[in-house]
Amino acid sequence: MPRWGMVIDVKRCIACWGCTIACKEEHFLPPGVFFNRVLIGESGKFPTSSKLIYPVLCNHCSDAACVEACPTGATYVREDGIVAIDDEKCVGCRACMVSCPYQQRTYYDENVKTREYFPGQGKTEMEIIGEKLYPFKLGTVIKCNFCSERLEDGMKKGLTPGKDEDASPACVNICPVGARIFGDLDDPNSEINRLIMEKKGKQLRKEFGTEPAVYYID
């Protein structure tokens, strides 16, 4: 069984937000909901200050705070390392949301569901079809799932996640500079393991002990 993980190369990333937007399309996310974001900050003082750019998403932590906090078992770590939410089980207590040090979860309620991309002008065809094709359950928590449906479909067709786009997460595909590399953390020869080793990949906020599967290199 692989354990899926990602390396984000912040040196390559140009803060284009492609990942954020492609992800929104992939999952038909309503306005204000993001499974992927780009953090833009600054450090240092003029004239030697530098721009910080960190794309963030759910880290699919192997020791996830959200899983620990979830009282129902709705949030769980799958065998392939993906932290998933079973929306049949979620009671919407948001303990997971509060617990996630990375704040990668969103509560899907009436307020979110009724938002329109063109406020007051009704939902577009895309929003309407999205609700049908990719429905979220009211009163549950949603988040990035490493595009597991893409992965599964692709693998069924014999494709390799991280290599073939039909088996890879949407944000990895869209990234115009190859800053997102997807692969198997359990495979010592995988591209991501090589990068983590060579470039000394770091997890964000390692001190929370959640063991993120997303590594950053620069």
Partner 1 sequence: MNDKHQDLVETMFPSDGSGIKPYEWMISPTRQRQWIDDKGIFLWLAFFFSEIGAGLYFMSLFYSFRPGIVLGWLITLVLGGLIHMLYLGNPKRAWRMIMKPNTSELSRGIWIIGVFAVLGFLQIITPGGFNMVFNFIMGILCLLIISHGFATMNVVRALPAWNSTIVLPLSIISGIWVGHQLLQLMFAISGNAAAASGMEVWAATFFLAYFLCMLLYAWGTWHSSGAAKASIQRMLEGDLKQITYIGVGVLAILVPLVFTLIMWGGDTNGFLIFLRLASVCAGDLAIRYLIMKSAVYNPLI
Partner 2 sequence: MTYKTDEIWEDKWVNTTCGVCYCGCGAKVRVVNGVPVKIEGIKESTMGGTGSGLCGKGAAGLMYYHDPNRIKKPLLRTNPEKGIGVDPKWKEIEWDEALDMIATKMKKIMEDDPNKILFTNQTMRASDGPHNHPYFYAQAYGVKNNGNFIIGGGSLHCGNACHMLGGLIHGAWSIAPDWRYTKYVLKWGSSKGTGSGHSAMTNARLRADAIRRGIKEIVFDPMGNFAGGKATEWLAILPGTDAAVGLAIANYIVNIRGEMDELYLKAKTNFVYLIKDDGTYMRHEKSDKPLVYDTKDGKVKEYDDTSAAWEDLALDGEYEYNGETVRPCFVPFKEHLKQFTVEWAADISTVPAAKILEVAKGWVDNAQIGSTITIEGKTFPYRPVSSVTFRGSQGHTNGIHQVAAIDLMAQLVGAEDVPGGTLGWPAIRRAYPGGHYEQTCTVGTDGVIVPSVFYSHDPWPVHAPSYPATNMGCVDVWTHCTLSHIPYVNEVDYIHEKLGMTSKPEMIFGISANFVISNSDWDVAVKNFKDCFVVQMDLWVNETDQAIGDLILPDVSYLEKDCWSSEIDAFFFSGSPSFEDWYVHLQQPVAKPIGESRFFMDVYIDVANRVGVLDKFNAKLNDYYGIKDPELQIKPGEVLDWKQIGERVLKWVYGDDKEKIEKQGYATWHKPIEDVYWRWNIDSRCPVYMEYLIHDRRNMEKIFEETGFDYKKLEMDMDQYTPLPSWFWPESHKDLDNEFDLLAFSYRDILHTNNTTFQNPYVDEVSQMCPYTFTITLNTTMAKEKGFKDGDIIWIENKFGVKEKGIVKTMEAQSPKVIGIAGQGGLWADGRPVAKGKGSNFCKLLPSKLKYFDPVAGNMETAVAVKIYKA
Residues that bind ligand SF4 (CB under 6 A): 13-19, 38, 55, 58-61, 64-66, 83, 100, 102, 104-105, 143, 174-177, 179-180, 210
Among the listed residues 59, 75, 99, 173, the single contact to partner 2 using CB under 8 A: 173
By CB under 8 A, the count of residues binding partner 2 is 59
The least CB distance from residue 27 to partner 2, in Å, is 8
Q: Which does 138 bind (CB under 5 to 8 A by kind): partner 2, ligand SF4, partner 1, none?
A: partner 1
Chain positions 31 to 60 lying near partner 1, rule: CB under 8 A, are: 37, 39-41, 52, 54, 56
Q: Is 85 a binder of partner 1 (CB under 8 A)?
A: no
Among the listed residues 13, 77, 90, 213, the single contact to partner 1 using CB under 8 A: 90
Phi/psi at 149 (nearest 5 deg)? -65, -35
Among the listed residues 22, 65, 174, 196, the single contact to partner 1 using CB under 8 A: 65
Among the listed residues 6, 7, 8, 22, the single contact to partner 2 using CB under 8 A: 22
The least CB distance from residue 211 to partner 2, in Å, is 23
Among the listed residues 2, 3, 27, 183, the single contact to partner 2 using CB under 8 A: 27
Among the listed residues 7, 19, 83, 95, the single contact to partner 1 using CB under 8 A: 95
Integer CA distances (angstroms), 79 to 63, 100, 103, 186, in order: 13, 20, 23, 12
